[in-house]
Copies of this chain bind each other. A is one copy, B any other.
Amino acid sequence: MATSILIVEDEQDIRELLEFTFLRDGYDVIAAETAEIALQKIDIKLPDMIVVDWMLPGMDGIDLAKRLRRDELTADLPIVMLTARGEEADKLKSFAGGIDDYITKPFSPRELLARVKALLRRSGGPKNNLIEASGICLDLNSYRITINGNEIQISPTEYKLLEVLMRNPDRAFERSQLLDRVWGRQVYVEERTVDVHMLRLRKILKPHGLDATLQTVRGIGYRFTSVS
């Protein structure tokens, strides 16, 4: 799957220039005219990075960035801001921490690509295809899961759930966070459904004495903790 970039830009010609530039360089491009539309598109599919104009009708680029930063799912999404010359000096400083890079208009496509590429390299390393803890081993390549070397059977949803938990060991997830990450945002399922799937995972791990790795955090949700 190609790297996907979300472009948020209200001026049609600039938006099209951006689309063309990224498409030509092999990215998947999603475009939005406003920050509001951008948020919708993000809910449908999380992009790998966002290029957003500073000036937008309605919610502006800074507001969008702030909002994305506040949201746990998008908190570390790389954001590149487009600004007109003269704006950057004062205003951007007031929001130093929020964006990852900015480019002043007019910009050259070449420069934009170089920045974006550098940013992606910086923020998203190559994905590891083995997750291991406490003898549980997820092979993301073959979609196999083994416990102490023995392959075990697991259903797709349980697999994804376990993957999310094991990618973040010792981190407590709220049910809603797990729903977002495993089920996606566009589907609505009851929060209690998470409990049922945790139960099923524990049943699978129990014969190997590893059900204690899936811990309940009362009042919050669940957590994966490796045991020895």
Minimum C-beta distance from A219 to chain B (A): 3
User: What is the chain B residue whose CB lies nearest that of A1?
Assistant: B72
Given known pairs A2-B71, A66-B25, the reply for A171 and B142 (CB within 8 Å) is: yes
Kindly list chain B residues whose C-beta atoms are within 8 Å of the C-beta of A142. Answer: 170-172, 217, 223, 225
Q: Which of A70, A71, A72, A142 has the most CB of B within 10 A?
A: A142
Q: How far is the CA of A214 from the CA of B217 in the complex (A)?
A: 25
In the complex, whether A141 has a CB less than 8 A from a CB of chain B is: yes
Minimum C-beta distance from A77 to chain B (A): 13
Minimum C-beta distance from A162 to chain B (A): 14
Kindly list chain B residues whose C-beta atoms are within 8 Å of the C-beta of A219. Answer: 155-156
| Interfacial residues of chain A within 51-94, with CB under 8 A of chain B in the complex | 59, 63, 66-67, 70-72
| Interfacial residues of chain A within 117-170, with CB under 8 A of chain B in the complex | 139, 141-144, 155-156, 170
In the complex, whether A106 has a CB less than 8 A from a CB of chain B is: no
Q: How far is the CA of A26 from the CA of B68 in the complex (A)?
A: 8
In the complex, whether A218 has a CB less than 8 A from a CB of chain B is: yes
Judged by DSSP, the binding face of A is: loop
Q: How far is the CA of A142 from the CA of B225 in the complex (A)?
A: 9
- Do B172 and A143 touch across chains, with their CB atoms under 8 A apart? yes
In the complex, whether A40 has a CB less than 8 A from a CB of chain B is: no
Q: How far is the CA of A141 from the CA of B220 in the complex (A)?
A: 11
- Do A156 and B220 touch across chains, with their CB atoms under 8 A apart? yes
In the complex, whether A3 has a CB less than 8 A from a CB of chain B is: yes
Q: Which 10 A-B residue pairings sit nearest by Cβ, starting from the closest?
A: A156-B219, A26-B67, A143-B172, A142-B170, A26-B70, A143-B217, A142-B172, A141-B171, A143-B220, A142-B171
In the complex, whether A192 has a CB less than 8 A from a CB of chain B is: no
Q: How far is the CA of A82 from the CA of B129 in the complex (A)?
A: 36
A156 contact from B63, B70, B218, Cβ within 8 A: B218
User: What is the chain B residue whose CB lies nearest that of A27?
Assistant: B70
Minimum C-beta distance from A71 to chain B (A): 6
Kindly list chain B residues whose C-beta atoms are within 8 Å of the C-beta of A24. Answer: 59, 63, 67
Q: 8 new A-B pairs (CB below 8 Å) besides A143-B217, A144-B170?
A: A24-B63, A25-B66, A26-B67, A141-B171, A142-B170, A143-B220, A156-B218, A156-B219
